[in-house]
Structure 1
Amino acid sequence: MREVIAWAFYDFANSGYTTVVLTTIYSAYFVGVVAAGLDATTPGAATLLWTLAIAFSNLVVLCSGPVIGAISDFRASKKTFLLLTSILCVSATAMLAWTAPGQVTLAVILLVLSAIAFSSGENLIAAFLPEIATRENMGRISGYGWGLGYFGGLLTLACCLAYIQFSEGRGMGAEHYVPVCLLITALIFAITATPTFVWLRERAQPRPLPSGKGYVKAGLGQVLTTVRHAARLPDLFRFLLCIVLFQAGVATVVVLAAIYAQEVMQFDSQQLIVLIMLVNLTAAAGAFVFGFAQDRFGSIPSLAGALMVWIAAIAVALQATTNTDVWIAGNLIGLAMGATQAGGRGLVGQLTPASQNGEIFGLWGLANRTAAIIGPISYGIINRLADGDHQLSLISTLVFFVLGLGLLLTIDEKRGHQAARQVS
């Protein structure tokens, strides 16, 4: 049980980065302050640049993730890679605090570095799941991680909100309190990730490299072999494609929700933080409840229900005319986000052969990174072409969820479990 807690605490630790940097405070600050000069001459340019930076970082992880995963299988070094990516993410996040308004290039470089490290760490921590859980309780354990993670984001946001209220009470603006919020985020990440590195064990055993091959070449070869053998795991690979579709919608909401609320509904910093804090609470509830539902009713029916909630949430957001509409959409998004993120990781673990954990979770990361490129870029391009029309941009997000739901319903979960056991 201690290892499960240690594993879940990494989700607790890194969620502060997601909520503060990608979702709430820094995303809105980047568009509204750091890169505001771009919008003054070209409406929508700042939002497009934000989505391009996120897309580029995910492209890097898309290319490197499967290789790192395969190498970690050969060297049994997931924990070492996880430590290195954590140090990079914490350092780059802290350094973002020193980017002033107008320093767009430096801000983009540090944002990309931190996002690459964060996403790589997500791949690596996920690969431990099949080692600490059984197929019967994997959905529940994954739900624990996501649920605890949302409380980690909540803690970081609460600390940031307290400091923002303190600063604004003394007449200080965003140029003062946002950098401090970034330092708070980096510090909480570093402290709360410690249990993971103290208690979580590396159970995998090193394997000899094929004759005449280095780690990179062997890793690439292993990934290519897995892709060539996709016919043996048709439901797993179909689900990875499904993840690309619905996670494109999730990724768009994660990195653009605060920008949408700020630009369309005129939310200020405190309103944004309170909104995302409430979303984190409902997301934690969604993750915990879905973990049990997944183990009880099956992953496919449970995920289908979650995607229908996503579709309803985006429909409400598109029609929003009052703050109340935004709060309703936000709560629906929270419930759906916790469910889809916990469920996606849990089902991949169930459909993965035990001998290929690091490699398949590298491909899972590849699917997520592909989604994180397609989704935000679609939003950013539409927003730029429509001269900053965020509501029109949001329609592309709705389409991703509808397509993902359609593909999900074609997957045979029981057949996928049998194929994973046969390959193992």
Structure 2
Amino acid sequence: MVSVGGRSRPRLPTMIQYSGVMQTNPRPSAGSRSKILSWALWDWGSASFNAVIITFVFAPYLTKSVAATEEAGSTALGWSTAAAGLIIALVAPAAGTRADSGGRHKLWLGVHTGIVILTMFGLFFVRDSPEYLWVGLLLIAMGNVFFVFAEVSYNGIMVRITHPDNVGKVSGFGWGMGYAGGLVLLVILLVLVIQPEVGLFGAGDEGGLRFRVVAALSAVWFALFALPVLFTAPSAKASKPSGGHPIKAFIADYGALVRRLVRMWREEHQTLRFFIASAVFRDGLAAIFAFAGVLAAGSYGFSASEIIILGVAANVAAGAGAMIAGYFDDRLGPKPVIIVGLIVILIGGMPILFSDNPVVFWACALVLSFCVGPVQASSRSFLARITPTERAGENFGLYATTGRAVSFLGPAMFAVFISLLGFQRAGTLGILLVLFVGLILIIPVKPESPAKSMQAQTKR
């Protein structure tokens, strides 16, 4: 088991060596093992939304069984997801700023997580008939929006339970727990609900009950594992009064955010470059998982059960990679982990272009998955290391926004290269190109210390 705990340390200024640059950083108290585990259990539980609802089970049910045609369902899902992404891009940064100013990351994590869980429960009422399609799409879109809002506060809490010596390990542990939770839940649902002729609670095919039960059980799973962090996460002092009319306060926060972006353009060049670079390569990483099942079915002839097994294996590989890489993150810094991970992904993805052998695809998929986890975890660690605790929500709100701002890149390049070269596996080249651009953008980025970042942010 990965050891991620540490002794409590006083909040004193400390000098840390990071990528060859000495930094002065007020060190937050190191989270105890129990606090870090409680925090990571949220990641474990949240996989029920990402792995089950979005990727492997419920969204495919919507497009194939609920929609009148699969094409119509896929198009509608794309539009609803795009609308959710637009809302996230517009609101997430200001929502993070509001959480920072009120010192209420734990409160907002609970509120937003609760809304996501309610949308998952709501999916139980989506029967396999076209008139239910937009109900399902609306609930999934709402879940997407509030899930990202919850992640902003969740990542903000991570900054408060770690210190510079273990933030990479903790971030990797959280990502690994997410992947592990996803695979455990997928296996449970596969055995108890999806595969049996009559599953748990009498779940069968009539009325789409099998998939509706999956949604309800996934909601229960998320609720159970989200509770610990809400009881154990440290509270933070408000950086400024949070009173006043909510709408006026939100507008004021957004105005402050715009001014901060202008200052970032002028003074925080490296942080801004990180946001841009990470947005590009994170979109490429998301595309890997988004289209792995499509390629497995279309180009390699995998059955539905084989695709779920592939998903389980991919989660195991990604989780193991994230946990292992956490040690290298703390020793070498997150940037080398990101660069090496992207290079291995680029090399490991190339054989898919030239081979239709399922064994080759399995090998490539596992290599890519093993590296996706470390790159994702170290990207979050990179931002945590350069973020003052007072700006955690704001920065992670920007992190969410920039990630969504270019979310069209991976899917668009996947489609473009299939059109240009005329075969489905060619879409892999489009995704690899996006990752290559992200690699080129991250190489020149140099970390800024939280002290320097805070000084630039407060400069008038």
> Do the structures match in fold with TM over 0.5?
yes
Q: SS at the partner of 1:127? A: helix
Within 2, Cα distance between the matches of 1:126 and 1:299?
A: 16
Kindly provide the CA deviation profile for residues 334-383 of structure 1, in whole angstroms up to 9, marking residues without a partner as x. Answer: 21221111011100011123331111111111112224344345546877
Within 2, Cα distance between the matches of 1:94 and 1:262?
A: 29
- Bigger drift between 65-74 and 253-262 goes to 253-262
Within 1, Cα distance between the matches of 2:390 and 2:102?
A: 13
Q: Is the 8 A contact 2:278 2:379 kept in 1?
A: yes
Within 2, Cα distance between the matches of 1:75 and 1:156?
A: 35
Trace 1:363-374 onto structure 2 (pairs within 5 A). Answer: 363-374=398-409
Aligned to 1:29: 61
Q: Kindly tell me: are residues 396 and 273 of structure 1, through their superposed partners in 2, closer, same or farther at Cα, counting changes over 3 Å?
A: same
Within 1, Cα distance between the matches of 2:56 and 2:68?
A: 17
Q: SS at the partner of 2:223? A: helix
Unaligned runs of 5+ in 2: 1-31
Aligned to 1:42: none
Q: Is the 8 A contact 2:409 2:434 kept in 1?
A: no
- The AA in structure 2 aligned to 1:367 is T
Aligned to 2:430: 396
Task: Name which of 41, 44, 50 aligns with 2:77.
Answer: 50
Trace 1:19-418 onto structure 2 (pairs within 5 A). Answer: 19-35=51-67, 37-39=69-71, 46-99=73-126, 100-102=128-130, 103-162=132-191, 163-167=193-197, 173=205, 175-208=208-241, 214-230=248-264, 231-376=266-411, 379=414, 390-413=424-447, 415=448
Q: Kindly tell me: are residues 270 and 234 of structure 1, through their superposed partners in 2, closer, same or farther at Cα, counting changes over 3 Å?
A: same
Q: Is the 8 A contact 2:284 2:410 kept in 1?
A: yes
Q: Is the 8 A contact 2:64 2:70 kept in 1?
A: no
Q: Is the 8 A contact 2:353 2:428 kept in 1?
A: yes
Within 1, Cα distance between the matches of 2:161 and 2:147?
A: 22
Task: Name which of 422, 447, 452 aligns with 1:419.
Answer: 452
Within 2, Cα distance between the matches of 1:64 and 1:122?
A: 13
Q: Is the 8 A contact 1:234 1:416 kept in 2?
A: no
Shift of 1:221: 2.1
Within 2, Cα distance between the matches of 1:104 and 1:118?
A: 21
Q: Is the 8 A contact 1:30 1:36 kept in 2?
A: no
Kindly provide the CA deviation profile for residues 18-53 of structure 1, in whole angstroms up to 9, marking residues without a partner as x. Answer: 1112221223333433336153xxxxx544443333
Within 2, Cα distance between the matches of 1:83 and 1:241?
A: 29
- The AA in structure 1 aligned to 2:113 is S
> Which structure has the larger Rg over C-alpha atoms?
2
- Bigger drift between 235-244 and 51-60 goes to 51-60
Q: Is the 8 A contact 1:210 1:218 kept in 2?
A: no
Within 2, Cα distance between the matches of 1:116 and 1:195?
A: 23
- TM-score normalised according to structure 1 size: 0.89
Q: Is the 8 A contact 1:147 1:284 kept in 2?
A: yes
Q: Is the 8 A contact 1:92 1:111 kept in 2?
A: yes
Q: SS at the partner of 1:412? A: coil
Q: Is the 8 A contact 1:142 1:291 kept in 2?
A: yes
Q: SS at the partner of 2:323? A: helix
Q: Is the 8 A contact 1:246 1:400 kept in 2?
A: yes
Shift of 1:307: 0.8
Q: Is the 8 A contact 1:58 1:119 kept in 2?
A: no
Within 1, Cα distance between the matches of 2:366 and 2:100?
A: 39
Shift of 1:232: 2.9
Q: SS at the partner of 1:328? A: helix
- TM-score normalised according to structure 2 size: 0.83
Q: Is the 8 A contact 2:106 2:157 kept in 1?
A: no
Q: Kindly tell me: are residues 25 and 347 of structure 1, through their superposed partners in 2, closer, same or farther at Cα, counting changes over 3 Å?
A: same
Q: Kindly tell me: are residues 152 and 308 of structure 1, through their superposed partners in 2, closer, same or farther at Cα, counting changes over 3 Å?
A: same
Within 1, Cα distance between the matches of 2:164 and 2:453?
A: 11
- Bigger drift between 205-214 and 273-282 goes to 205-214
Q: Kindly tell me: are residues 97 and 373 of structure 1, through their superposed partners in 2, closer, same or farther at Cα, counting changes over 3 Å?
A: farther
- The AA in structure 2 aligned to 1:104 is L
Q: Kindly tell me: are residues 28 and 210 of structure 1, through their superposed partners in 2, closer, same or farther at Cα, counting changes over 3 Å?
A: closer
Q: SS at the partner of 1:241? A: helix
Query: How many aligned residue pairs are there?
Result: 417
Unaligned runs of 5+ in 1: 40-44
Within 1, Cα distance between the matches of 2:170 and 2:99?
A: 22
Within 1, Cα distance between the matches of 2:75 and 2:444?
A: 34
Within 2, Cα distance between the matches of 1:36 and 1:319?
A: 36
Kindly provide the CA deviation profile for residues 97-134 of structure 1, in whole angstroms up to 9, marking residues without a partner as x. Answer: 33224333222212211111212211220111211111
Q: Kindly tell me: are residues 209 and 98 of structure 1, through their superposed partners in 2, closer, same or farther at Cα, counting changes over 3 Å?
A: closer
- The AA in structure 1 aligned to 2:398 is L
Within 1, Cα distance between the matches of 2:81 and 2:220?
A: 23
Q: Relative to total residues, which structure has the larger helix share, 1 or 2?
A: 1
Within 2, Cα distance between the matches of 1:391 and 1:49?
A: 25
Q: Kindly tell me: are residues 46 and 314 of structure 1, through their superposed partners in 2, closer, same or farther at Cα, counting changes over 3 Å?
A: farther
- Bigger drift between 58-67 and 75-84 goes to 75-84
Q: SS at the partner of 1:410? A: coil
- Bigger drift between 199-208 and 311-320 goes to 311-320
Within 1, Cα distance between the matches of 2:153 and 2:355?
A: 38
- The AA in structure 2 aligned to 1:134 is H
